[in-house]
Amino acid sequence: MKATIRLDNITIDPITSFSSSNIESSMLRLDKLHPIVSGNKWFKLRYYIEEAISQSCSSIASFGGPYSNHLVALAYAAKENNVNSIGYVRATKEDAITPSLQEALAYGMQLEFIGRTNFQEVKNDLLKNNQHRSIDNDSTYFIDEGGYGAIGVKGAATILNENCKEYTTIIAAVGTGTMLAGLINAAEAHQDIIGIPVLKNEASIETEIKNLLKDSSKPFTLLHRFHQGGYAKTNPALFTFMNQLWTSEKIPTDIVYTGKLLYAVDSLLKENYFKEGSKILVIHSGGLQGNRSLPLGTLLY
């Protein structure tokens, strides 16, 4: 049985301020796909949800932080497919409930707060018995954080459509590496794939991505110098850039992924990193939940 959700059309929009007579830059606007299951989230979740339904699981569980786009998307998608959802949160019960978690609750997600100190250990323990285990005699299907895994990669590979084949360079933000692995698997032979990791000191991410590839020898590039200090770390220069991008292009970005991605593309263009004649496709992976952590008025949108 297929997992379903009503989606809008995906568009490829020019980024005028990132283009010149020698370079053409465009953006795959996955952020326009759905108002809640924004960006790459549906692609990474779709086949997990289908498998959970085919196995008659009563609940789907996954993991994330207090501003997790992934948990909000899962809560909504599970509700739309008449399956219960459970979110294991990297926070404590004493922490304030964020707007993101409030939204997940509104879609029916059961929240389990497992703190920050032992989050990875608890997550790995819940995941180690394959994909699902029994909780209170109910069959619960577990998805790793961010949809990481071969099934998430299978879904992410469907991001690139026929209209993407003409581009010479595809560039995207990297968190778990799931989406980038899917893009690498789906890319044409003439296309260069570039990833912008948003975490600091991500020495293992290249290996983790290669482990998800159909052909581990397929080339890709990771540029590690645009993390802005680490995961969800920000600075005034990034805010200024995001606001200027909104003013000039009306492209909303977030502080965790796409803000850093577009900052990287802008910097690379100024450094003449790309070959003349390049046609660049920037993947807007959606998800603006992290911006909710900012003081009101920090961003113009």
Q: Region 235-241: what's the mean pLDDT?
A: 97
Q: Does the pLDDT value for residue 169 go beyond 90? A: yes
The answer on pLDDT for 197 being more than 70 is yes
Q: Quick one: average pLDDT of 171-187? A: 97
The pTM assigned to this predicted structure is 0.91
Answer whether 144's CB lies under 8 Å from 166's CB.
no
Model confidence at 133: pLDDT above 90? no
pLDDT band at 1 (very low <50, low <70, confident <90, very high): low
Residue among 69, 274, 74, 110 at smallest CA distance from 192: 274
Q: Would you state the pLDDT for residue 130?
A: 53
Q: What is the CATH number of domain 12-36+159-293?
A: 3.40.50.1100
Instruction: Give 172-207 as a 3 state SS string.
Output: EEECCCHHHHHHHHHCCCCCEEEEEECCCCCCCHHH
- Give the pLDDT band (50/70/90) at residue 227: very high
- Whether 136 shows a pLDDT value over 80: the answer reads no
pLDDT-based confidence at residue 232 (cuts at 50, 70, 90): confident
The conformational region for residue 250 under phi > 0 = left, psi -120 to 50 = alpha, else beta, is: left
Question: Given pLDDT bands bounded at 50, 70 and 90, which one contains residue 239?
Answer: very high
Residue 131 has pLDDT above 70, yes or no: no
Sequence letter at residue 244: Q
DSSP-derived 3-state class of residue 31: helix
Helix (H) or strand (E) holding 70: helix 69-80
Using DSSP, state whether 111 is helix, strand or coil.
Answer: strand
Domains 12-36+159-293 and 41-147 share a fold: yes
Calculate mean pLDDT across residues 224-237.
92
Q: Does domain 41-147 have CATH number 3.40.228.10?
A: no
The beta strands (E) that lie in 78-190 are given as 84-89, 110-113, 132-135, 138-142, 169-174
Tokens of residue 70, six digits: 């992934």
141 in Cβ contact with 52 (< 8 Å)? yes
Kindly report, residue by residue over 244-299, the tens digit of the pLDDT: 999 999 999 999 999 999 999 999 999 999 999 999 999 999 989 899 999 999 99
Amino acid identity, residue 283? I
Match 């590496």 to its residue by tokens: 177
Q: List the chain domain ranges.
A: 12-36+159-293, 41-147
Antiparallel, parallel or unpaired: β 24-29 and 12-14 = antiparallel
